[in-house]
Amino acid sequence: MDTRQLILELWASYWWLSIPFGFMVLGIIRMVVRGDIERKRLEVIKTYIDRGMDVPDALKRETF
């Protein structure tokens, strides 16, 4: 059995595993993006606090 045929047989048997793996990859990407957004939001809040200004309510709320 050559390598190409083996790969095709494995894909034919286990193609459905690509669906949960795809969702896991999307979940990881979502966590990274959310973390970056949250970090930027906290930097803006810190800037307001350092300047002695009131933090707007829009920044205090959860936006997700």
5 domain residue, yes or no = no
Of 22 and 1, the structure prediction assigns the larger pLDDT to: 22
Cβ atoms of 55 and 49 closer than 8 Å: yes
The domain in which residue 31 lies consists of 26-55
* Domains contained in the chain, number: 1
Write down how long the chain is.
64
12 domain residue, yes or no = no
Residue with tokens 């300047």: 51
For 26-63, what is each residue's pLDDT tens digit? 999 999 999 999 999 999 999 999 999 888 888 877 66
Cβ atoms of 53 and 46 closer than 8 Å: no
- Give the integer Cα–Cα distance in Å for 22 and 28: 10
